[in-house]
Amino acid sequence: MADHPFISLSLLVIILAVASFDNIHAVVQYEVINKAETTNGGIRFNNDIGAEYSKQTLTTATEFIWRLFQQNTDADRKNVPKITLIIEDIDGVAFATNGEIHVSARYIKGYTGDLKREISGVLFHENTHIWQWNGKGQTPGWLIEGIADFVRLKSGYVPGHWVKPGQGSKWDKGYDVTARFLDYCNDLRNGFVAELNKKMSNGYSDNFFVELLGKNIEQLWNDYKAKYGNIS
């Protein structure tokens, strides 16, 4: 039988692509610990979400964040070999610190909407905190949270209670208000948020907005509000 070089080449490309994909997954390990498994929220987590779905979501979120932040090599990223998701009996919703994401079992218990979708959005937000730069502690909290919600926005896991585009009283409200504003800025310069995050690897200045977009934050905010008719 004659050889078919094109078929062989195609198979080689597929093999290399699969190997490359596997290597992406191998970079970070994921662990899920349910410290509240005897509570109603912990039981609901096990029944409605589960460890495997959580690991899959965190894996997808990590790769999504790397692409959105244009972090294509190890040198572009933080060195985070392992991310641990911990479900525990605490107030609030969630927080991230030192490679750990802590999610409230009480919040899981009380949530009345699509729980799996909500927790997926929470994991995209909190996983962003694991990977984003914080200006060596100089970046203001409103921007840290705004970027995390920007990632959640781009992922598609947008809660119904978020403000609509153009709403909000000021750019530094953080979370959804800032996320919508950053989305506007990113439309002005594709990759703006990625470039802003990269700049914050060594520090922070409000002037980063001027350097990247040619206008200060207040001017950009006024333009953003004007675009949507200055709605409140």
What confidence category does residue 27 fall into, taking pLDDT thresholds of 50, 70 and 90? Answer: confident
Across the range 90-116, mean pLDDT stands at 98
Separation CA 77–CA 75 (nearest Å): 6
CA neighbor of 96 nearest in space, from 52, 53, 75, 65: 65
Q: Is the pLDDT of residue 94 over 60?
A: yes
Separation CA 32–CA 54 (nearest Å): 8
Separation CA 198–CA 194 (nearest Å): 6
Amino acid identity, position 48: D
Lowest mean pLDDT across 72-76, 199-203, 214-218: 72-76
Q: Which pTM was predicted?
A: 0.88
Backbone angles phi, psi at 84, to 5 degrees: -115, 125
**What fold characterizes domain 26-131?**
Neutral Protease; domain 2 (1.10.390)
Across the range 200-215, mean pLDDT stands at 98
Separation CA 116–CA 168 (nearest Å): 28
What are the residue boundaries of the structural domains of the chain, listed by start? 26-131, 135-231
